[in-house]
Amino acid sequence: MTTQLIDGKKVSLEIKQEIAVAVENIKNNGGKIPHLAAILVGDDGASHTYVGGKVKSCEEVGFRSTLITYESSVSEETLLAKIEEINNDTEIDGLIVQLPLPKHISVEKVTERIRPEKDVDGFHPVNIGRMNKGLPAHISATPNGIMMLLKRYGINTKGKHCVVVGRSNIVGSPMSILMARDSEPGNATVTLCHKNTVDLASYTRQADIIIVAVGIPGLIKADMVKDGAVIIDVGTTRVPDASKKAGYAIKGDVDFEAVAPKCSYITPVPGGVGPMTIASLLLNTLASAKGDVYQTRS
């Protein structure tokens, strides 16, 4: 069997180029240049890397960007006040608050304080509810990125059995909803598995499509996958590796070397889903700037 790699870097670059053209058209017509604000709390290395990548991507497509940083000791009140300030700033179209946050700050309070139209991460209950009803919304960046990968690679999902492993509000739960919706991609029969699922392999062996997002390196083994399956690996765990300059390697939730030969399509880690998250974030920000967040989008 020939296995095709799903190249998130390539697709992400294509989308960025399309966004850059759209921004250039906006500029030429005297319109408003999209502006993304990011709030970063603390000194978590991975968070700094992620936010840095988002800011760089804004520059690449011609967006304006603002990065606001706080020490991990910042009060919840101060952070919420800054979010409210950005909500009321008509120059800023999208706002993300990088997770994780210090324990003394409520993620729910922060998420709900962001105005839904500016919630380009797609975490606000209004956006989740609209997505659930099949209405136009800011869809969570990673699930939306996965849907774009499936679409651009022409992977048929209609009538297929999709097993989603992981039920987080950021990836697993919205992914299960999107795959089951009456849309293309979509129209799959979805099974949602999680840490309390008994005999996970009995479900994954039946799957035409497996989407796994649990943060357990190598969880999905070759004997858990049927021949010809499509594998979407969302896992990105740092594993110590002395042979790497950084001292660690990024590993996915799938035992890639063993599983890949059995698949029709598979995403690598890194270079698969990750780049699509940022592309989706940029698309949401562009829609917000154009004022058509809740209008039907293709």
Binding residues for NADP(+): 166-168, 236
Residues 6+ away with beta carbon under 8 Å from 155: 185, 209, 230, 265
Residue 158 φ/ψ region, left for φ over 0, alpha for ψ in the -120 to 50 degree band, beta for the rest: beta
Number of residues in the chain: 298
User: What is the DSSP secondary structure assignment for residue 163, as one 8-state letter?
Assistant: E
Gap between the Cα atoms of 287 and 55, Å rounded? 18
Residue ranges of alpha helices (H) inside the chain are: 8-28, 45-61, 76-87, 107-113, 125-132, 141-152, 172-180, 200-204, 256-259, 274-290
The verdict on whether 54 is a catalytic residue reads yes
Residues 6+ away with beta carbon under 8 Å from 268: 5, 6, 7, 233, 252, 256
CA distances from 18 to 29, 43, 55, 258, 272 (A): 17, 33, 18, 36, 19
Q: Which of 16, 54, 251, 262 is catalytic?
A: 54
Annotated binding site: 166-168, 236
Q: Which of 223, 224, 222, 250 is nearest to 235 (CA)?
A: 250
Q: Which of 121, 233, 253, 255 is catalytic?
A: 121
Asked if residues 171 and 213 have their Cβ atoms less than 8 Å apart, the reply is yes
The verdict on whether 206 is a catalytic residue reads no
Q: Which of 16, 82, 93, 98 is catalytic?
A: 98
Active-site residue set: 54, 98, 121
